[in-house]
Amino acid sequence: MYFFATPTAILLFFFQAGWTLKLPSYIKPCKMSDPKLDECVVKHGLAAVPKFINGDPKYRVPRLEPLDITELKVRQGTKQVGLNMILKNCKIYGIKSTKFIEARTNLPGKHIEWDFKIPRIEILSDYEVDGQVLILPITGKGKANVTLTNLEITYKYDWVYENKNGKSFMNFTSSELLFDTGRTYFDLQNLFNGDKFLGSNMNRFLNENWKDVTKELGPAVGQAFSDVFRLLLTRIAAQVPFEEIYLS
Ligand SMILES: *[C@@H]1O[C@H](CO)[C@@H](O)[C@H](O)[C@H]1NC(C)=O
Ligand SMILES: *[C@@H]1O[C@H](CO)[C@@H](O)[C@H](O)[C@H]1NC(C)=O
């Protein structure tokens, strides 16, 4: 019975019973026929960021500042000459400063691309690492601070339409996230069982070779962002009919 008492469950219940929502009041829809549709999307999208980041239970949108991610896994190469790194209980700060740069909206082709810039992302977490990073052995467990600057993100996605109760909803099929960073800073505490000398040498090494190390870390971080985009879009699009998102 408790299950039915939670707001999410009640919302889910109404949703499944055919309830539909409008866009949240802080996201202004754009007109499909607008000759400057892409500019409209960027303007309204950018305006929504400060509201969005606090989360919105009504749309089942989680809080984004800080964003909680249970686990980021980096796995490179084989067990003998590879790197196994897990960042656990991650708190990710910086999404609130996201700049929406450009949108490329192709509604007839059911394809959309969005470009974002984030000046700085700070990932504070517990970590466990074991293996080799750029041929040096590394092992440890403790607190990590991984800070990425000047992120450039392009998110592309496709969808099909799905009819529910006479309304058309976007059902996302494929998506892709491209991502590039400026500098990356690493601070892994308690490396090598707390050996100060080895630990600070390794941190210096990571920071001097940030470009190559980020290449190893990049896919995991990219995947995490991609999952977040997908979650947000899916949750909104599952509840808000297409005609409420892009007005005719
Ligand atoms: C994390 O690292 C960045 C870059 O070195 C630093 O500016 C920031 O203060 C650190 N954050 C914490 C909580 O230590
Ligand atoms: C969306 O499409 C997928 C795959 O075609 C399908 O399994 C799913 O039931 C559809 N609807 C929703 C609401 O996800």
Smallest CA separation from ligand 1 atom 10, residue: 145
Compute how many other C-beta atoms are within 10 angstroms of the C-beta atom of residue 161.
10
Ligand closest in space to the Cα of 122: 1
Smallest CA separation from ligand 1 atom 5, residue: 185
For 191-241, the DSSP string reads BGGG-HHHHHHHHHHHHHTHHHHHHHHHHHHHHHHHHHHHHHHHHHHHHS-
Does residue 6 form part of some domain? no
Look up the domain containing 172 and give its range.
20-247
Lining ligand 1 with CB less than 6 A are: 122, 124, 145, 147, 185, 187
Does residue 205 form part of some domain? yes
Alpha carbon separation from 138 to 14, 114, 117 (Å, rounded): 51, 37, 32
What is the C-alpha radius of gyration for the chain, rounded to an integer number of angstroms?
21
CB 38 within 8 A of CB 104: yes
Q: 3-class SS at 50?
A: helix
Does residue 127 form part of some domain? yes
The four Cα atoms 26, 224, 70, 144 give a dihedral, to 10 degrees, of: -110
Does residue 9 form part of some domain? no
With residue 126 as reference, give the H or E element that holds it.
strand 111-133
Q: How far is the CA of 18 from the centre of ligand 1 (A)?
A: 47
pLDDT at position 170: 93
Does residue 11 form part of some domain? no
Question: Residue 203 and residue 186: Cα distance in Å, rounded?
Answer: 7
With residue 2 as reference, give the H or E element that holds it.
helix 2-5
Q: How far is the CA of 54 from the centre of ligand 2 (A)?
A: 28
CATH of residue 219: 3.15.10.30
> Tens digit of pLDDT per residue, the chain (248 long)?
333 334 444 444 444 444 678 888 889 999 999 999 999 999 999 998 888 899 998 888 889 999 999 988 887 766 556 788 899 999 999 999 999 999 999 999 999 999 999 999 999 999 999 988 878 899 999 999 999 999 999 999 999 999 988 899 999 999 999 988 899 999 999 999 999 999 999 999 999 988 888 887 777 888 888 888 888 888 888 889 999 999 98
Does residue 79 form part of some domain? yes
Q: How far is the CA of 99 from the centre of ligand 2 (A)?
A: 31
Ligand closest in space to the Cα of 206: 1
pLDDT at position 78: 63
Does residue 213 form part of some domain? yes
When divided into structural domains, the chain yields a total of 1
Smallest CA separation from ligand 1 atom 3, residue: 147
pLDDT at position 216: 77
Cis geometry, peptide bond prior to residue 241 (ω within 30 degrees of 0): no
